[in-house]
Structure 1
Amino acid sequence: MTEVTRKLVPEKQTVRIGYLPLTDCASLVMASKLGFDERHGIKIELSREMSWAGVRDKLASGELDAAHVLYGLVYGVQAGIGGQRRDMAVLMNLNQNGQAITVSGELGRAGVIDGASLARQVRASRHLPTLAHTFPTGNHAMLLQYWLAAQGIDPLRDVRVMTVPPSQMVAALRTGQLDGYCAGEPWGYKAIVDGVGVTLASSSAVWPDHPGKVLGTSAAFAQQHPNTCRALIAAVLEAGRWIDASEVNRLQMAATLAAPEFLNTQPELLAPRLLGHYQDGLGKTWNDGGRLRFYGDGAVNFPYLSDGMWFTSQHRRWGLLRDEPDYLGMARQVNRIDLYRQAAEITGTPLPAGAMRASVLCDGVRWDGSDPEAYAAAFGIGHLF
């Protein structure tokens, strides 16, 4: 073994990775099942977790080496929101799109079919509806609150918001504990299949090609195990490329993911929305161009600084951060673009021209990361200190 080769050997060969049973953990599962991990000198040991809070705590304790985790959760921990501040690392983005905003069948039958009709219902009702997300600083909370505000609904005053693990959403909707929620698939489609929910919006309608879950770890793990992290990123890139290569691969992935040790469901619950086929539960069907993506020629996976900064801007907007943070400094510290670039080179994954990207969200407001404090303060509905 040459000195150069020795320097690239993973410091830890068996990597324990946590995940929640959601469709968007697929590239981690397939990296393990198809042997992409072993190709890069590691073995992924998957650990099914029950809640995002549990994932956070196990990353902090070192019980997990890395995890399929909410982008916004990682940035919340980095900022010390709601708990002890810890230095974190985002190794890559795992997916784009693939979430949904769902309300109860009762609201749907009462005429709530979109954001405007939900706003009318909220104004007319004597009781505040109860809506759920999956973690206070996480993707679903920030997307739900952004979307509600775009409809003229103040998420901190006009509705009750609570945290519910994704796998419990449908049951809580069925029993009337919730009037709606934002969660990852298959829990949006499951409510439709069970006849208890109505899809108001896919998450790509809130933010087209928004970042999803990330491959997250502690900054200490990334610092101590750079070769392991590089190999892990490379394996997951190859798995994501395989998933996105064909519809046949997507269906094979759905069959694998549905197995008892992973999501413990039927492939038929995963396949339609994986293929972009949506229905709202009231008879409307459509093909969603913003379906769940895992690779997209690398555009999905690059850890754009502006993506991380968007979550911090929303934490600031909703009063979770009292003082203005160093948006760009935090993103540069958390998002390990250096490790990602090296893994991309190993796997032949295209890289973008820059570390920032621009998007236009559902309210027509453009986000490009250029002035995050002004962005956070510019909304008509917000709770900045």
Structure 2
Amino acid sequence: MTIDDDVPTLTLGYMPLIDCAPLIAAVRLGLDRRHGLRLELRRQASWAAIRDKLLSGELDAAHALAGLVYGIDAGIAGPQADLAILLTLNQNGQAITLSPPLAQGLAAGRPLRELLAELPRRPVFAQTFPTGTHAMWLYYWLAAQGVDPLRDVRSQTLPPPQMPAALADGELDGYCAGEPWATQAEALGVGRLAIRSGQLWPGHPEKVLACRREFAALQPELAFALTATLLEACRWLDEAEHRRQAVAWLAQPEVIGLPAASIEACLLPGGAVDASDSGLRFHDDGRVNFPWLSDGRWFLQQFRRWGWLAPAQPGEDATRLGNIHRLDTYREAAQRLQVAVPAVDSRRSLLFDGTVWE
């Protein structure tokens, strides 16, 4: 953080994905200045880079995978560090993409496990970070098809922009990533969408606004102003005409750098906002942005499912999530913007395989 003309400047990292839109909109609309901040945005090459720069202090906050935050806090697949979630930036908006032969086989009704067994080598699937949301959606979906994601396939970590080319070259058999990289694979004819993440878990948490816990605790005024800025940007993005405006910003080379038509197909499928439970949502009267404790418990449960996290001691998860989810900061920002806040901290979710998570 720096001070410029008495206005605090915060450096935020983001990945070139559709759901970085709240950060871009906040700066383009001057919402940061409205809340007494100046945001400096820096595009990153990978989620590992975002992790490393958050921990080193090079970034004050970041557009981050929800699962990345919980994984770092638990010390899985890397150094342990205390991070915080200020708000959820979006729900849904990711997809699992398969090579055309696999997609064709699935469409014909053949079991995925059978199709993978016919490949000349061990199947390779890519995700974007070992404990990230994309890994969790991919592993959950594979397991539901009777495929063990830790034994039956090889999992590879790749930055999203590299995935379509790797699929085209035959290096991958499928991947899970945020849009527009599923849409791009289909546009290039190198891959086909198998399932959208919003179909797998309608209304699932995706990207969050993450920061170091020390920043959230020791600079509460800045954390509050940052939360209010991004919450207002998320609310702005729920309007179709606003998303059309954001398309041009996201298409620019320094942000995502793909044709505007590809961006618009993700933000406005069919020319309108997808208001369904499975569509890309940024606000939905605040239901998207509240950092639900039950969402965090789902990720911890998945970490234990795959053997990465020891069984919880009594009260351990509640303490961990209470430290990560800055609910007081969120509630204060929501009150300023007159955004409704739920009366409870957990919610009920229904996943595609019939599992109910509460």
1:250 to 243, 254, 267: 243
What's the offset of the Cα at 1:277?
Answer: 4.3
Contact 2:13/2:42 (<8 A) preserved: yes
What's the offset of the Cα at 1:120?
Answer: 2.9
- Name the aligned partner's letter for residue 99 of structure 1: Q
Match of 1:283 in 2: none
Match of 2:296 in 1: 308
Match of 1:52 in 2: 47
1:188 to 154, 178, 182: 182
**Is 1:127 equivalent to 2:121 in the alignment?**
yes
Contact 2:18/2:178 (<8 A) preserved: yes
**Is 1:363 equivalent to 2:353 in the alignment?**
yes
- Name the aligned partner's letter for residue 19 of structure 1: Y
1:69 to 51, 55, 64: 64
Unaligned runs of 5+ in 1: 1-10, 279-285, 369-385
- Name the aligned partner's letter for residue 207 of structure 2: K
- Name the aligned partner's letter for residue 152 of structure 2: D
Match of 1:37 in 2: 32
**Is 1:101 equivalent to 2:96 in the alignment?**
yes
**Whole-angstrom distance in 2 between the partners of 1:314 and 1:80:** 15
What's the offset of the Cα at 1:289?
Answer: 5.3
Q: 1:83-142: CA deviations, max 9, x gaps?
A: 221111000000000000001123234x23389642331244463311010000000001
What's the offset of the Cα at 1:35?
Answer: 0.8
Distance change >3 Å, CA 114–CA 244, structure 1 → 2: farther
Note the 1:295-374 alignment, pairs <5 A: 295-324=283-312, 326-368=316-358
Superposition RMSD in Å: 1.9
Contact 1:276/1:287 (<8 A) preserved: no
**Is 1:291 equivalent to 2:284 in the alignment?**
no
**Whole-angstrom distance in 2 between the partners of 1:353 and 1:127:** 52
Matched residue SS, 1:132: strand
Query: How does the TM-score come out when normalised to structure 1?
Result: 0.87
Match of 1:378 in 2: none
Contact 1:12/1:225 (<8 A) preserved: no
Contact 2:73/2:82 (<8 A) preserved: yes
**Whole-angstrom distance in 1 between the partners of 2:141 and 2:267:** 23
What's the offset of the Cα at 1:23?
Answer: 0.4
**Is 1:230 equivalent to 2:224 in the alignment?**
yes
**Is 1:171 equivalent to 2:160 in the alignment?**
no
**Whole-angstrom distance in 1 between the partners of 2:312 and 2:118:** 36
Contact 1:147/1:206 (<8 A) preserved: yes
Distance change >3 Å, CA 117–CA 288, structure 1 → 2: farther
**Whole-angstrom distance in 2 between the partners of 1:262 and 1:126:** 38
Matched residue SS, 2:140: helix
- Name the aligned partner's letter for residue 182 of structure 2: G
Matched residue SS, 1:210: coil
Matched residue SS, 1:13: strand
- Name the aligned partner's letter for residue 213 of structure 1: K
Unaligned runs of 5+ in 2: 1-5
- Percent identity reads 50
Distance change >3 Å, CA 57–CA 12, structure 1 → 2: farther
Match of 1:374 in 2: none
Contact 1:276/1:290 (<8 A) preserved: no
Note the 1:3-22 alignment, pairs <5 A: 13-22=8-17
Contact 1:14/1:43 (<8 A) preserved: yes
Query: How does the TM-score come out when normalised to structure 2?
Result: 0.93
Distance change >3 Å, CA 289–CA 323, structure 1 → 2: closer
1:150 to 144, 163, 176: 144
Distance change >3 Å, CA 154–CA 235, structure 1 → 2: same
**Whole-angstrom distance in 2 between the partners of 1:299 and 1:71:** 16
2:260 to 262, 267, 270: 267
Q: 1:318-351: CA deviations, max 9, x gaps?
A: 0111343622211111000010000000111111
Distance change >3 Å, CA 287–CA 225, structure 1 → 2: closer
